[in-house]
Amino acid sequence: MSGTDTLDFTARFSRERPYNRPRGGDVERAGYSLQASGIAALEDQLESDRGRIINSAAVRRLQQKTQVFPLEHNAAVRSRLTHSLEVQQTGRFIVRTIFRKLGDRAEHYGLKGLERAMESLVEMACLMHDIGNPPFGHFGEAAISRWFEAHARALVPFSDAAAPEVLREPLLRELASFEGNAQAIRLLSRLQKLNLTYVQSAVVLKYTRVATEGRPAAGAAFSYLQKKPGYYYSEREFVEQMQRALGMEPGCRHPLAYIMEAADDISYCLADLEDGVDKGLMSFSVLADALKAAYAKARPEDADQARFRNFGDAKSFAQLVDEVLERAHREPINKDHEFFVSLRVKLIHPLVNHAAEAFIAHLGEVFQGRLNRALLEDGSPCHSVIETFKTVALEQVFSVPEVETLELQGYRIISGLLEHYRPLLELDLDAFDRLRSGTSKGLLIESRLFKRLPAKHVKAYESMRAEQPDDTSAELWECYCRCRLLQDMVSGMTDQFALDEFRTLSVMGPL
């Protein structure tokens, strides 16, 4: 542990929220700090956060969103919700392991008594980490980004012929980079109006780049932390307030966000393969061979060696997989189930241990939020295990024709929906305002499309419009807000709802 003598984690906890927040800046803000109000008051506020999150529609919608398999009917195959529940459990396990390993040292870092608060913060961040994901997963994201990349520049306020505007290119860049993580920050801060404590929101912020900016160069200090957009321009003030409330420097993460990320990495790599076997895409013995081969390719130096403590009783990854196979073959009835239970039991402990050890080993950088990589991305055998699982999922699951067909359909549905709603974007500002005020003479199609927009999203559009920056024209800002409105609408849909809406508007379903 380097540079840890002056660490005081209490500085990263506060019970402050956006509404009811202290007005007078730092002096009043200090009253909301952990030092001033104590752990019990923080825990009360986190309990309130839990209620707000678990009761939110955004979390419920995860039950009908793609994790890997779009429009899946088999409820045993994971949706985003069941995946998120597993991430929640893994996150909690990492926190408990960190505290067990720290023991009495927790006090030295200002972590004494914070185990319960940390568990709650990490659990809820894990539950929320995918709330911004659109229907059809990565293909939904790509469809939204590509559609806006192709069409936003043609909208009059964004066209080159319009007056010069400093924000034109940055906003165009943002609209062409739809990101589930950035949409999650928008959902919790604006669309769902959850009014969570800043600290709870901060744990969800996975990448620290505003989407109007470009990706940093490969060797830059935040190259990993900013590899993807983490929030939109529309939420920059919220993020700045959050950073101030928690004493975080721009570009830095909250320390607990590293735990949420590790929990996601650990959970999905095992789960995707289990789902693949459940769906009959491969047998567990084919999977076992593929895992051993992929690990040996990634780490030829230790595939068969007997020198790793990481894998429990087993001496090497290959041996661990063989032990799991043997158990599965011995089970008389449900061999698949036994294979995955045994694999999970054997791997979750070393992976969680490793994440906890990395958190402690880099406590200084983690506290600053400057550790420029994921906890598990360190070239270790555990890192290779995760990579091995991802490689096999890519080869054996994501690239089978059945899955790829569904992905193409998802892509088409999202692009098609945006195409159906395009007339709303092409109206000029006055005409759109007439629509909103209900005087829609002559706007036959547009008025009908407008009525289909969720009222909550239209309200968010209105509040955003009032936040027009000084250096931007009303037209450009309004057009940006309207594009966000369409992205909010499409990304908020579940897979099934998107399909139904697409069919309805394409006159393909029953009339």
Ligand X SMILES: O=P(O)(O)OP(=O)(O)OP(=O)(O)O
Ligand Y SMILES: Nc1nc(=O)c2ncn([C@H]3C[C@H](O)[C@@H](CO)O3)c2[nH]1
What are the residues binding ligand X (CB under 6 A)? Answer: 130, 133, 137-138, 180-181, 206, 228, 264
Residue 112 site contact among ligand X, ligand Y, none (CB < 5 to 8 Å, cut-off depends on kind): none
Catalytic residue among 17, 61, 92, 130: 130
- Enumerate residues 6+ apart whose C-beta is below 8 A from 138: none
Taking the least distance from each CB to ligand Y, the nearer of 49 and 275 is 275
Q: Does 272 bind ligand Y (CB under 6 A)?
A: yes
Element (H, E) at 401: helix 401-426
CA 78, 80, 82, 86 torsion-angle sign: positive
Q: Assess whether 264 carries a catalytic annotation.
A: yes
How far apart are the C-alpha atoms of 376 and 350, rounded to whole Å? 11
Residue 12 site contact among ligand X, ligand Y, none (CB < 5 to 8 Å, cut-off depends on kind): none
Minimum Å distance from CB 130 to ligand X? 6
Name the nearest CA neighbour of 55 among 197, 191, 192: 192
Minimum Å distance from CB 138 to ligand X? 6
Minimum Å distance from CB 95 to ligand Y? 22
Q: Does 398 bind ligand Y (CB under 6 A)?
A: yes
Taking the least distance from each CB to ligand X, the nearer of 193 and 227 is 227
Strand partners, 364: none
Residue 398 site contact among ligand Y, ligand X, none (CB < 5 to 8 Å, cut-off depends on kind): ligand Y
Name the nearest CA neighbour of 495 among 244, 136, 248, 185: 136
Catalytic residue among 29, 78, 92, 129: 129
Long-range contacts of 299-305 (CB under 8 A, 24+ apart): 299/381, 299/384, 302/381
Q: Assess whether 138 carries a catalytic annotation.
A: no
Q: Assess whether 83 carries a catalytic annotation.
A: yes
Give ∠ CA 467-469-470 in degrees, rounded to 5: 130
Name the nearest CA neighbour of 94 among 265, 332, 237: 265
Q: Kindly tell me the burial class for residue 244, based on how many C-beta atoms sit within 10 Å of its own C-beta (0-12, 13-18, 19 or more).
A: middle
Q: Are residues 53 and 84 in contact, defined by beta-carbon separation less than 8 angstroms?
A: no
Catalytic residue among 83, 168, 354, 457: 83
Taking the least distance from each CB to ligand Y, the nearer of 110 and 132 is 132
Minimum Å distance from CB 344 to ligand Y? 15
Q: Are residues 278 and 286 in contact, defined by beta-carbon separation less than 8 angstroms?
A: no
Q: Which two tokens stand for residue 166?
A: 């400093």
Q: Assess whether 488 carries a catalytic annotation.
A: no
Q: Which of 18, 91, 134, 137 binds ligand Y (CB under 6 A)?
A: 137
How far apart are the C-alpha atoms of 178 and 169, rounded to whole Å? 15
Residue 191 site contact among ligand Y, ligand X, none (CB < 5 to 8 Å, cut-off depends on kind): none
Q: Which two tokens stand for residue 313?
A: 């009783």
229-268 mask for ligand Y (x: CB under 6 A)?
---------------------------------------x
Q: Does 68 bind ligand Y (CB under 6 A)?
A: yes
Q: Which two tokens stand for residue 428?
A: 């000029």
Residue 230 is given by DSSP the state E
Taking the least distance from each CB to ligand Y, the nearer of 9 and 268 is 268
Taking the least distance from each CB to ligand X, the nearer of 86 and 130 is 130
Alpha-carbon dihedral of residues 84, 352, 345, 306, nearest 10 degrees? 140
Taking the least distance from each CB to ligand X, the nearer of 185 and 303 is 185
Residue 491 site contact among ligand Y, ligand X, none (CB < 5 to 8 Å, cut-off depends on kind): none
Q: Does 67 bind ligand Y (CB under 6 A)?
A: yes
How far apart are the C-alpha atoms of 441 and 488, rounded to whole Å? 27
Taking the least distance from each CB to ligand Y, the nearer of 189 and 396 is 396
How far apart are the C-alpha atoms of 59 and 85, rounded to whole Å? 11
Q: Does 138 bind ligand Y (CB under 6 A)?
A: yes
Q: Are residues 88 and 203 in contact, defined by beta-carbon separation less than 8 angstroms?
A: no
Minimum Å distance from CB 504 to ligand X? 27
Minimum Å distance from CB 359 to ligand X? 18
Q: Which two tokens stand for residue 287?
A: 């999977």
Residue 279 site contact among ligand X, ligand Y, none (CB < 5 to 8 Å, cut-off depends on kind): none
- Enumerate residues 6+ apart whose C-beta is below 8 A from 112: 106
Q: Does 181 bind ligand Y (CB under 6 A)?
A: no
Residue 272 site contact among ligand Y, ligand X, none (CB < 5 to 8 Å, cut-off depends on kind): ligand Y
Q: Are residues 421 and 448 in contact, defined by beta-carbon separation less than 8 angstroms?
A: no
Catalytic residue among 49, 264, 265, 302: 264
Taking the least distance from each CB to ligand Y, the nearer of 142 and 188 is 142
Q: Which of 39, 77, 341, 403 binds ligand Y (CB under 6 A)?
A: 403
Residue 274 site contact among ligand X, ligand Y, none (CB < 5 to 8 Å, cut-off depends on kind): none
Active site residues: 83, 129-130, 264, 448
Contact positions vs ligand Y (CB under 6 A)? 67-68, 137-138, 268, 272, 398, 403, 407
